[in-house]
Structure 1
Amino acid sequence: MRAHPVFGDSLIAGLLFLADLSAFAGRAPVSGGVLFLVGLLLVVPVAFRRKYPLGSSYVILFGAFLQLMTHGGMNDGIPARAGDFALAVALYTIVAYVDRQQGLVYTMALFVGTFIWAIWRIAEPASAVILTFLVAVIFGFSWALGEFVGARRAYHSELEQRLKLLETERDQQARIAVGEERSRIARELHDVVAHAVSVMVVQADGAGYAIRTKPELAEAAVKTISDTGRQALTELRRLLGVLRSEDQSGTQWAPQPDARELDNLAENCRAAGLPVRLEITGDVEHLPAGLGLGVYRIVQEALTNTLKHAGTGANAVVKVLRTDEKVVIEVTDNGFGTPHDLVAVSGGNGLIGMRERAGVLGGTLEAGPNPGGGWRVRAVLPLTAS
């Protein structure tokens, strides 16, 4: 009915038309054609009242004026027709769907028509007073109902606009968070690649000095350059996948952490009051620089979320498994504090950062409630970027 208002209003118009057929049983001084025409003018516009509120309302008013001029008195046997209720429907429509000013104009027209009808067509004063009062009550109810529905429509419209504005702000904040995290990742990968290039330059200079006097040292230097160059190419491929935004912050000179710093990270969390059990399987000390940094950052952010949201008395378990093809990271806690799913639904910056970092490294990340209680973060990072 809401999707197709004309259909619902057509049902109302049909009911009014069926009820209005009783007018043909009265002793009208006009032909049946005039009765039928007035009925059409009163009833048919009701079907289009929400699509064309002003136009349909004034067509109904014209039909009522034609009825006033031709028939509608006590002597006719039909002082009022069922189709005349369309006037109340039209008044409600203008108040609810247009504005009060147009509603006042329409009400004045109804008042003038009702006054003429009571004076001219109703002969008995007592009947005129009673019928006028009854008509005034009906029109007053229509105005009040229109005010109520119009206020609700305005409230819902404003609420929808506010919700759209909040959604827009949320999306903008998410995009800002993604941009900041990508910029941070780009800086870190830049440091990794810059380190590799620096090593290559130093080794190339050394090879140039030793190529004639100590060929074996030059050969070792060239081999180091080759290995470092391959690693740098891998990091460059990852770097090119990041849309780096303009960043005016200063250069970071501190060495970037890697997976070898996980023990220190766990110790810092224990000092902050979060018991952490660290389980490392496989060799994580010789991971590529960018991958090692990603492992460290994901674990760091997951433990930070545990500190923020798990509540007092929570424990965390960090498992890092390296295989021949990938590194699997799993961080779980048994917290019962602030529901983590609220953070997930709202798109917290921490989760956004972890997902972006895993995506840059060619991996995947899952975060959600742990079946046994608490929260679980699991990331799978390939050793070779796709």
Structure 2
Amino acid sequence: MKAHPIFGDSLIAGLLAVFDLLIFIAQTVEHPAGTPVPKPWFIAVPAILGAVAPLAFRRRRPVLVAYLVLILGMPHSWLELGVASLAALCISLYTLVTYVGRKQALVFVLATVASAAVQLPLQSGSVTELAAAVVTGALAMALCWVLGEFVGARRAYQVEVEARLHLLETERDQQARIAVAEERARIARELHDVVAHAVSVIVVQADGAAYAVHTQPELAERAVKTISATGREALAELRRLLGVLRSGEDGEERTPQPGTQSLSELAERVRSVGLPVRLDIVGAIDDLPAGVGLGIYRIVQEALTNSLKHAGPGASAIVRVERTGDRVELDVLDNGSRKRALVGMSGGNGLIGMRERAHVFGGTLKAGPHPAGGWRVRAVLPFGGA
């Protein structure tokens, strides 16, 4: 019925027509022989069919069908051929309330009342018959109005549910795309941090080994070992990051991400390449959320990598990580040459990545020349409690 509404509505119209035709045939058969039939078949049959035929298209053109039923049903009602005209009026009213709206339905009711006000007094033989006809018609139309309101509310609710489901599907797709974009951005930051730090260490050590290979072979050998260890560590991290991009390997064991517990190893590695680093940790930071710990580690790593690149010979750095309540204050200060301070904040990928890591947790990050000399990176990362 829902897939083929015209077929279903045609079936309803056909049943009403058959019911009235059977009534007409019964009246004709029971009519006394030898007397003229009061309703000839060539008048009655078209009147019956005309009263119900528009119902086949009631859902496609509800307003037009309703008024066609009202007009074409007048002869049927006047000839008293059955219930088809009243039933068709009620079905049309129900259709208007359900599919069009109360305003059009009310106009149709007023038109029906006006038609009945003219027709019923002329057709009814007594006041009792007139009252019965008025009450019957009013109750039937009232029942169809209430039924139309109920079905219309159900249809509106169903449409709203379908719209919400469609919206939820759209939001889900958008969230999936956002999650993919965020994951790619995170991996890009991770790759930048790993590669930038490893390459900086390797370059510094390679330069030192080149100078010391003839005069200080032991120092050159140590530098080469540092290059080898740094390269292996960078490869391990790169494998971990690239493994995230592979599908079907969820069960594969991967290297844990670095966090605050790895800060000592980071400081020791930077010391081994020629930049003295003092690490001060105040408060308990080992139980921080993994994301916060990784952010702290990457900010310190990027800041020390910049110090290796730009601070110049003889420089040193101080790293201070302090937990105060539900936030962590991070301070990285080096005493390098003022040359780099004159360059100012370049806004490169490293600085942008540090800022993004801080902003992810609703924190702040400032980087710039220190009044006493050197370069300072200061970040505050709230985390909503341990």
TM-score (norm 1): 0.52
User: Which residue pairs with 1:72 in the alignment?
Assistant: 79
Which of the numbers 140, 160, 165 marks the counterpart of 1:158?
A: 160
The offset of 1:18, in angstroms, is 1.9
SS in structure 1 of the partner of residue 79 of structure 2: coil
Q: Which amino acid aligns with 2:11?
A: L
The offset of 1:94, in angstroms, is 0.4
Matches of 2:237 and 2:160, distance apart in 1: 50
Matches of 2:214 and 2:242, distance apart in 1: 39
Matches of 1:256 and 1:219, distance apart in 2: 28
Unaligned runs of 5+ in 1: 244-254, 262-267, 273-289, 291-386
The 5 Å alignment of 1:1-386 reads 1-25=1-25, 26=27, 31-67=40-76, 71-73=78-80, 78=81, 80-169=82-171, 172-173=174-175, 175-213=177-215, 256-257=258-259
SS in structure 2 of the partner of residue 112 of structure 1: helix
Deviations 1:263-314 (A, max 9, x none): xxxxx99989xxxxxxxxxxxxxxxxx9xxxxxxxxxxxxxxxxxxxxxxxx
Call closer, same or farther: CA 1:45–1:224 in 2, change over 3 Å.
farther
Root mean square deviation, CA, Å: 4.1
Call closer, same or farther: CA 1:33–1:229 in 2, change over 3 Å.
farther
Work out whether residues 206 and 218 of structure 1, in 8 Å CA contact, stay in contact via their aligned partners in 2: yes
Matches of 2:13 and 2:208, distance apart in 1: 96
Matches of 1:195 and 1:139, distance apart in 2: 82
Matches of 1:192 and 1:34, distance apart in 2: 94
User: Which residue pairs with 1:336 in the alignment?
Assistant: none
Matches of 2:211 and 2:287, distance apart in 1: 50
Q: Which amino acid aligns with 1:72?
A: L
The offset of 1:98, in angstroms, is 0.6
Work out whether residues 49 and 93 of structure 1, in 8 Å CA contact, stay in contact via their aligned partners in 2: yes
Work out whether residues 186 and 239 of structure 1, in 8 Å CA contact, stay in contact via their aligned partners in 2: no
Call closer, same or farther: CA 1:238–1:34 in 2, change over 3 Å.
farther
Matches of 1:168 and 1:235, distance apart in 2: 35
Work out whether residues 9 and 47 of structure 1, in 8 Å CA contact, stay in contact via their aligned partners in 2: yes
Call closer, same or farther: CA 1:215–1:103 in 2, change over 3 Å.
same
Matches of 1:242 and 1:191, distance apart in 2: 16
Call closer, same or farther: CA 1:271–1:218 in 2, change over 3 Å.
closer
Q: Which amino acid aligns with 1:18?
A: V
TM-score (norm 2): 0.52
Matches of 2:66 and 2:231, distance apart in 1: 80
Structure 1 window deviating more from structure 2 (6-15 vs 88-97): it is 6-15
Work out whether residues 208 and 220 of structure 2, in 8 Å CA contact, stay in contact via their aligned partners in 1: yes
The offset of 1:211, in angstroms, is 4.5
Work out whether residues 45 and 56 of structure 1, in 8 Å CA contact, stay in contact via their aligned partners in 2: yes
Matches of 1:89 and 1:186, distance apart in 2: 65
Q: Which amino acid aligns with 1:38?
A: A
Q: Which amino acid aligns with 1:54?
A: V
Structure 1 window deviating more from structure 2 (49-58 vs 165-174): it is 165-174
The offset of 1:174, in angstroms, is 5.3
Aligned length: 250
Deviations 1:121-145 (A, max 9, x none): 2233322221222112111111121
Greater C-alpha Rg? 2
Deviations 1:319-345 (A, max 9, x none): xxxxxxxxxxxxxxxxxxxxxxxxxxx
The offset of 1:202, in angstroms, is 1.6
Matches of 2:229 and 2:287, distance apart in 1: 39
